[in-house]
Amino acid sequence: MTIQDVINLARFGELSGVNIKDNDTALVAFINMGMIEIYKRFTLKMEEHIVPLVEGQTLYALPDDFMYPYSAHKEVEIGSIKRDEEVPINDEDEPLSIFFPNHREVQIPAGVTGGFISIIYVAKPEKYSETNLEAELDLPDALIDCLLHYIGYRAYLGIRTDGQAANNAHYSRFERSVAKAKELGVAPSTDTYRMIDRLADRGFV
């Protein structure tokens, strides 16, 4: 489904009673905000970031699309075989835990051994622009309903009196749509992101 398709659906549905429905710039901004909110609720896009360890360095930059960590792993060698070992995240009770002090950096203790740390993370959605309304939306069709209710929520956010009631109603519908989608199992399985498979792909096992 394209950005224009979503805008058309919103104009004839959730936004039919507000003037902002004709403002493409505002609607695309609402779509971008809604995508971030939905990506926070569902594990829709996961990536791997390899951090080569450097002696004496503890802070490392994260990719621009990093949203939050899912897991971290390091390679360990048992005999002639290399295996992965999960590394604790943000655990103050673990001396070798890695920490994410902000959304731009990861802190890796000097005591962590190995050549690299693999960080599996949930990635941000693509940011869309009103200059390309034919761009495909990176969202399962089953979650379009959630996005439309979020757009309705944002559109009515600044409207007083009756708009406030509509704003609350759209947010409640958004939450119900999210809950229903989770009940139906819309999010993909995270089993496909097992680190052991990634190491095998690199020829480590």
Long-range interactions of 48-51: CB distance < 8 A, separation 24+:
48/118, 48/119, 48/120, 48/121, 48/193, 48/198, 49/118, 49/119, 49/121, 50/116, 50/117, 50/118, 50/119, 51/106, 51/108, 51/116, 51/117, 51/118, 51/119
Q: Which two tokens stand for residue 51?
A: 């951090």
- Report the pLDDT value the prediction gives residue 195, as an integer from 0 to 100: 47
Task: Please name every residue paired with 69 in a beta bridge, in sequence order, or none if there are none.
Answer: 121
- Report the pLDDT value the prediction gives residue 33, as an integer from 0 to 100: 96
DSSP strands (E only) in the chain = 46-52, 59-61, 66-78, 81-86, 99-102, 105-107, 116-123
In the predicted model, is pLDDT for residue 30 greater than 60? yes
Are both 23 and 119 inside the same structural domain?
no
In the predicted model, is pLDDT for residue 78 greater than 80? no
Q: Which two tokens stand for residue 7?
A: 């805008």
Q: Which domain holds residue 156?
A: 3-43+126-184
Are both 82 and 56 inside the same structural domain?
yes
Least trusted range by pLDDT, from 53-67, 99-113, 176-190: 176-190
If one counts the domains in the chain, the total is: 2
Are both 64 and 161 inside the same structural domain?
no
In this structure, is residue 198 part of a structural domain?
Answer: no
Are both 82 and 135 inside the same structural domain?
no
Are both 74 and 171 inside the same structural domain?
no
Are both 132 and 178 inside the same structural domain?
yes
Cα→Cα distances 167→12, 35, 42, 62, 164, Å: 17, 18, 23, 36, 5
In the predicted model, is pLDDT for residue 153 greater than 60? yes
- Domain boundary residue among 76, 92, 124? 124
- Report the pLDDT value the prediction gives residue 113, as an integer from 0 to 100: 81
In this structure, is residue 194 part of a structural domain?
Answer: no
Higher pLDDT, 124 or 163: 124
Cα→Cα distances 107→66, 95, 196, Å: 15, 12, 23
d(CA 37, CA 125): 10
Q: What confidence tens digit (pLDDT) does each residue in 13-24 have?
A: 888 877 888 899
- Report the pLDDT value the prediction gives residue 157, as an integer from 0 to 100: 78
Task: Write down how long the chain is.
Answer: 205
| Mean pLDDT along residues 75-96 | 83
Are both 102 and 172 inside the same structural domain?
no
What is the overall mean pLDDT for the chain?
86
Are both 105 and 134 inside the same structural domain?
no
Are both 13 and 69 inside the same structural domain?
no
Are both 117 and 53 inside the same structural domain?
yes
Are both 31 and 60 inside the same structural domain?
no
- Report the pLDDT value the prediction gives residue 204, as an integer from 0 to 100: 44
In this structure, is residue 106 part of a structural domain?
Answer: yes
Q: What angle do CA 72, 115, 95 make, to 5 degrees?
A: 50
